[in-house]
Chains A and B, each alone.
Chain A
Amino acid sequence: MKRFSTLIWLENRRNWIWSLPLMGSLLFWAWGIKQVTVMSVEERLGIRAGLLVAAATIGAVVLCMMIGRIRSETRKGQYQVLLMSPPSGYTHILSRFTYAAGVAFAFYIAIGFMFWWIFALAGISFDARSLFELILAVPFYGMSVTTLPLLAYTLLLMVFVSAYRLSGPGWVPGVVMLLGTPIAMQWVGEWIVRISYTLPGWRLFSTAPAALVERFGELDPETAMDINTALNQGVPVEPMLVMLVVTAVLLLLAGRIWQEVEA
């Protein structure tokens, strides 16, 4: 029996209608980027990068909407079928998360390619290593810190609502969870800031200054020093590690609560 792969197949059949338009929306963003033709090279680059950050944010929201449709499944009774199936709650939750994370990774790799494209439009050509970091390492880092915990939290929230009916007797744990979330986020955020750079930073784009020099000529000494300092320090790995652990904990909780869901 291939339970996990079957659940992934089921996820794909249920959700392709969300994931394909998400990928298709990249064409819209590419069109938007092409429309930015005025102003200086630096301003164009800034606006285009802003558009891609917006695309990445909206993509995360769409992914959360895709993964969080448990209530409508409950109303239609399809949730009953899944609750009664032999795979454990953990397997069900993991399959949903794996599918959404796969779609997210494909989406953010495409966003990474679009960043490479807007740099190319600005006349900045990265070497192979920087390109690799732009289309794989940065999306992985960004997803680990933001999208993956967000997807796991969405799953936990929806399973929690299905299990404890926030409008009914479950309003006490519901209120505790909803009020506790921002407090927990603030606490985790402060803790991450406190422990950041305990481990050596992850050095990304260490060869990028050469591309900037090639495009814009020699940088002024102060800017060059700032860039070199930032690149030598690298990005902190602690936020990524902490948020990956948070993601795993949220998924474990969601899998456990799956066993308590009524339908």
Chain B
Amino acid sequence: MLARLENVTKRYIKNEGLRDLTLDFPAGEVVGVLGLNGSGKSTLLKLLAGLLFPTAGHITVFDGPPRRSRAKMVFLGENDTLWPWMTPADAERFMRNLYADFDATRFRDLLEALKVPRRKTKTMSRGERGRLRLAMALARNAKLYLLDEPLAGIDLISREKILSQIVQEWHTDETILLSTHEVAEAEGLFERVVYLREGRLALDVSAESLREGGKSVVDTFREVLA
């Protein structure tokens, strides 16, 4: 098992992010993590990344604590995390020298494919910055990709480019967990969908079984979470 959560609860100062969640993520799946605002999607991905620590329960990623496995996973947070002075060339230098699995050639190809301009991020649009961050993430040969709202606030054309790149770059031994509110656009990607409601698991189902039952991911989203 690539990652496992056992009875995980995460409490914040004033509220609860997740409650008694148990989930397994084997290698080679594209998993949609869906839910309304505040349902615990970001908390789940941050816990798997080791950016948060569970209040109760146990998390293992690559058979160890998440933070210890950070060199083997990609976390793309929902925040715009790039430094304003950074250019794509700076980003390449940063990634190449810190990550053993970074592929500079693939990064440059991704910059071309995603049409990322070669200038400082402070002069880029939000969509351009989002595409640069995605290029940095996908240019690594990691085994686990945690993508938290990579489509948020990004225009339709950029969203389509990002989704098509995720499809193109995915290898069968890699696991991707993607949280998004753009359920309809991303649903073709998912092999499995985890629906969260108020920090609890509402439904964990394979996309194939939904389709066989004549339902789409979006229909089920409305049904389970409305």
Contact = CB atoms under 8 A, between A and B. Distances in A.
Interface string A221-244: 000000000000000000000000
A263 interface: yes
B80 A13 contact: no
B51 A84 contact: yes
Contacts of A1: 96-98, 100
A78 to B, nearest CB: 5
Interface stretch (A3-11, A124-132, A208-216): A3-11
A206 to B, nearest CB: 47
A83 interface: yes
A77 B70 contact: no
Contacts of A81: 81
A24 to B, nearest CB: 19
A106 B119 CA distance: 32
Nearest to B136: A81
Contacts of B85: 13
Contact of A76 (B67, B70, B81, B96): B81
Contacts, number: 63
A86 B51 contact: no
B107 interface: no
A80 B100 CA distance: 19
A259 B67 contact: yes
A32 to B, nearest CB: 32
B49 interface: yes
Interface residues of B, number: 27
A14 interface: yes
Contacts of B70: 83-86
B97 A2 contact: yes
B57 interface: no
Contacts of A84: 49-51, 70, 75
Given A84-B49, A259-B67, A78 B98 contact: no
**Residue of B67, B90, B96 contacting most chain A CB atoms (<10 Å):** B67
A76 B122 CA distance: 13
A262 interface: yes
Interface string A250-263: 00000000011011
B13 interface: yes
Interface size grouping (class) on chain A: 20 to 34
**Residue of A3, A6, A80, A169 contacting most chain B CB atoms (<10 Å):** A80
B97 A6 contact: yes
Interface string B32-73: 000000000000001001111100000000000001001100
Interface string A81-107: 101111100000000000000000000
A182 interface: no
Contacts of B97: 1-3, 5-6
A168 interface: yes
A78 B81 CA distance: 5
A10 B100 contact: no
Contacts of B86: 13
12 contacts: A1-B97, A3-B97, A9-B93, A77-B77, A80-B51, A83-B50, A84-B51, A85-B70, A85-B99, A168-B13, A263-B46, A263-B51
Interface of B: 13, 46, 49-53, 67, 70-71, 75, 77, 79-83, 85-86, 90, 93-94, 96-100
Q: Please provide the 5 A-B residue pairs with the shortest distance between their CB atoms, ordered closest to farther.
A: A77-B79, A6-B97, A77-B81, A86-B71, A168-B13
